[in-house]
Structure 1
Amino acid sequence: MVPVLLSLPLLLGHAVPQETQAGPYSLTFLYTGVSRPSKVLPRFQATAFLNDQAFFHYDSEGRKAEPLGPWSQVEGMGDWEKESQLQKAREEIFLVTLKDIMDYHKDSRGSHTFQGMFGCDIQNNRSSGAFWRYAYDGQDFIEFNKEIPAWVPLDPAALNTKKKWEAEKVYVQRAKAYLEQECPEILQRYLNHSRTHLDQQDPPSVSVTSHVAPGRNRTLKCLAYDFYPQRIGLRWTRAGKVQETKAGGEILPSGNGTYQSWVVVGVPPEDRAPYLCLVEHSGLAQPLTVPWNGRQKARAEGKLGTPQ
């Protein structure tokens, strides 16, 4: 057996690199196989992502690769019938590998999971990184090092997988070529049809709220929401100095294709100095400053929520 994808024809064939914007852009494939499927978790599923946006999905129930979201309306993204056949072949190889690992551990009880993730990035029209790795039951299993090049086992059972995947030298060379050449070329081709969606810039709405619990410091919360892309700078300042936050900082999906994030800072009762929430995002022409000054008034250029 050879690694998933290596013995299979590329869906798009040879892709000619096209001029792109600076980026960064990424193409990522995520595969999951389970030994005991359920109503909510099929035996095998595959999802492809452009940046953080899923653009097609396949699973062992429907056995059809189907474009998602705005890509269902985009012509030229791919031959979905051919993609479906490709994913069926990958499903078979993937599940055989899962069985091999379970046989090594001599454990057929319970439910076991095998996951694979691989992809590449481009920045300024050039390849800027690539990866290919697998995990078993949530633990690192094996990964490809394209500098050696070789499959590097991260689990004792992966030694057997390495032997199978490196049975012929050509398999290793093809893995290296895929990550360094073919994957970036495919990503470039996808960008010809999808850059408009990936380059969308939705500036954040911002809300500043305060809360006082009896006998405790005042809590100020700065919430940014409905923004895309997900990278954002969000922090509290006082007298020009960045304040240490007591909670927040995570960037979470909002469920509608945008993101939200927040930061929380504690203010002693005697402290009446103005606090500023500084928001930096690519959708803003300039950083947005939203103050809390004891009267809970917000003055800033941008899209603001109503402080409470």
Structure 2
Amino acid sequence: MVTIVPVLLSLPLLLGPVVPQEAQAGRYILTYLYTGLSRPGEGYPWLQGTVFLNDQAFFHYDSESGKAEPLGPWRHIQGMKDWEKESQLQKFREGIYLETLQDIMAYYNDSNGSHILQERLGCELQNNGSRGAFWKSAYDGKDFIEFNKEIPAWVPLDPAAWNTKKKWEAEEVYVQRAKAYLEEECPGILQGYLNHSRHILDRQDPPSVAVTSHTIRGKKSTLRCQAYDFYPGGIDLHWTRNNEVQGSESAGDILPSGGGTYLSSVMLEVPAQDRELYSCHVEHSALAQPLSVPWDGRQ
């Protein structure tokens, strides 16, 4: 049986760095996301984890390969991390995860069911010196347990979590160890990563913009403005008519487009014969000034 206690005490990097989101300027977040499946499909690992720096995937681990491997631009940075050591740490984490999942299933007397255990933990640093941290798990899509570093204690959010709390709080030192990780070790790890990563996380990629239209039955035209290949993800995208802002029929989400950039689009319905000046207005931090791309009625 693998227990969480020795791992927390002897492996300070293990529980290192919702859904990861784009951080505000001067704010950096290290996030570990784990997903464990009690009955994975063929060829699918029962546990996999992805580590993010802000909204960028930094490295990945899964139980099938047993390896922690850098992702994206971090694949090309030398000397940032000992990946063999990280793989060993993640392997220990895998044992903890399996035991926790089995304990929950045993509590509910459902050892043959298909279940999912998820965990999100990490910390953040801001340029003004402030810090933050988080550590929370969910079972079958519902909150299970979280660590409150102010008490400090594990807070059960599910009946089965009381047993987990008892095990993880067997001695006070274990609670203090978790608190120290969130408040001291994790921020230190994040700061070390930033020494190699600020140029990636602070970059500014301006959007490319395309304006098109589609006419249906000669009655209405749907104008579409798409911005793509921009970073960071925050963007203001809307239509104007003779410089007046128009309500959009469809303002799309900001979505990852691959390669660490984003895309978004906004649509507007207008009369097919309308020849007023419509323009797509774009504001993004990488643009020196707002961009206005006109629709000429023929695109």
TM-score by length of 2: 0.87
Equivalent residue runs for 1:282-293 within 5 Å = 282-292=285-295
Letter in 1 for 2:110: D
- Tell me, what secondary structure is at the counterpart of 1:231? coil
1:132 alignment partner, one of 125, 132, 135 = 135
Q: Which residue does 1:221 correspond to in 2?
A: 224
User: Unpaired runs of 5+ in structure 2?
Assistant: 15-23
2:211 counterpart of 1:208 = yes
Aligned-residue RMSD, C-alpha:
2.4
Cα drift, residue 270 of structure 1: 6.3
Change (3 A) 1:111 1:119: same
Equivalent residue runs for 1:106-255 within 5 Å = 106-214=109-217, 216-255=219-258
Whole-angstrom distance in 2 between the partners of 1:8 and 1:150 = 20
Whole-angstrom distance in 1 between the partners of 2:225 and 2:97 = 45
Write the deviation string for residues 261-306 of structure 1: whole angstroms up to 9, x where unpaired. Answer: 10112224465432332212122112211122x535xxxxxxxxxx
Write the deviation string for residues 199-249 of structure 1: whole angstroms up to 9, x where unpaired. Answer: 222111001111221264321111001112222221223354433222233
Change (3 A) 1:46 1:214: same
Whole-angstrom distance in 1 between the partners of 2:35 and 2:10 = 18
Aligned length: 288
Q: Which residue does 1:91 correspond to in 2?
A: 94
Q: Which residue does 1:9 correspond to in 2?
A: 11
Q: Which residue does 2:30 correspond to in 1?
A: 27
Letter in 2 for 1:165: W
- Contact 2:72–2:259 (Cα < 8 Å) also in 1: no
Change (3 A) 1:76 1:232: same
2:52 counterpart of 1:45 = no
Whole-angstrom distance in 2 between the partners of 1:177 and 1:230 = 32
Change (3 A) 1:173 1:221: same
Change (3 A) 1:291 1:68: same
- Contact 1:22–1:125 (Cα < 8 Å) also in 2: no
Deviates more, 1:99-108 or 1:259-268: 259-268
Deviates more, 1:70-79 or 1:87-96: 70-79
Whole-angstrom distance in 1 between the partners of 2:43 and 2:264 = 29
TM-score by length of 1: 0.85
Q: Which residue does 1:67 correspond to in 2?
A: 70
Whole-angstrom distance in 2 between the partners of 1:85 and 1:182 = 18
Cα drift, residue 29 of structure 1: 0.7
- Tell me, what secondary structure is at the counterpart of 1:95? helix
Whole-angstrom distance in 1 between the partners of 2:232 and 2:98 = 35
- What is the aligned-residue identity percentage? 67
User: Unpaired runs of 5+ in structure 1?
Assistant: 13-20, 297-307
